[in-house]
């Protein structure tokens, strides 16, 4: 099967599913990985695969700020105006950080995400890590439902859909 797919897609597992199964609507959780190249000089080999942030990020502040996203919230402020979702309420279950070899990896897991939600969340966390925003403001921004209060959106080049989980009961 893989030889018929483009190089950036790979099938690693195949399972039979019920006829009424829908890959989009039966999702239990999704995990997105966001890669940041956090060094003074750009990395030409990773320019298409990560966002370059030359200023040293304060991961401690970013981790504290990320906790304001955890839980079930109305994420209208962190969504795109073009979002066609009926509900803007989503549950973020975890945000994990790893700094290694010049990269900062951020993994965001939840029950689903609105259009550009993860990029806007990461953009705001980068702003916190660069001392542009205070992490405590996040809960106020979420409560305001005001899209204009979210000023930063991370580049698309660093965002990857890393994992999609489905309920184990296939009946």
Residue with structure tokens 């990020």? 57
Assign domain 28-162 one CATH number from 1.20.1050.10, 1.20.120.10, 3.30.300.30, 3.30.70.660: 3.30.70.660
Task: For residues 54 and 3, give the distance between their C-alpha atoms in angstroms, rounded to a whole number.
Answer: 39
Percent of the chain with pLDDT over 90: 81
b/e code 130-158 from CB counts within 10 Å (16+ = b): beebebebbeebbeeeebebbebbbeeeb
Domain ranges of the chain: 28-162
**pLDDT exceeds cutoff 70 at 159:** yes
pTM for the whole structure: 0.89
**pLDDT score of 28:** 92
**Mean pLDDT of all residues belonging to the chain:** 93
Q: Give the pLDDT band (50/70/90) at residue 24.
A: confident
| Token pair recorded at residue 26 | 């039966």
Which pairing describes strands 103-110 and 89-100: parallel, antiparallel, or unpaired? antiparallel
For 43-75, the pLDDT digits (tens) are 999 999 999 999 999 999 999 999 999 999 999
């Amino acid at each position: 099967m893989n030889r018929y797919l483009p190089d950036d897609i790979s099938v690693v597992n195949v399972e039979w599913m019920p006829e009424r199964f829908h890959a989009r609507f039966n999702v239990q959780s999704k995990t997105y990985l966001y890669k940041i190249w956090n060094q003074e000089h750009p990395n030409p080999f990773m320019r298409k695969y990560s966002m370059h942030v030359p200023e040293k990020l304060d991961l401690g502040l970013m981790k504290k700020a990320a906790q304001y996203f955890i839980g079930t919230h109305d994420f209208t402020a962190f969504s795109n105006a073009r979002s066609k979702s009926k509900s803007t309420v989503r549950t973020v279950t975890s945000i994990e950080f790893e700094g290694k070899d010049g990269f900062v990896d951020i993994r965001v897991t939840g029950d689903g995400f609105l259009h550009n939600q993860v990029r806007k969340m990461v953009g705001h966390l980068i702003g916190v890590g660069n001392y542009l925003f205070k992490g405590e403001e996040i809960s106020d921004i979420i409560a305001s439902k005001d899209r204009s209060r979210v000023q930063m959106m991370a580049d698309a080049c660093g965002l990857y859909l890393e994992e999609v989980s489905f309920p184990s009961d296939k009946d």
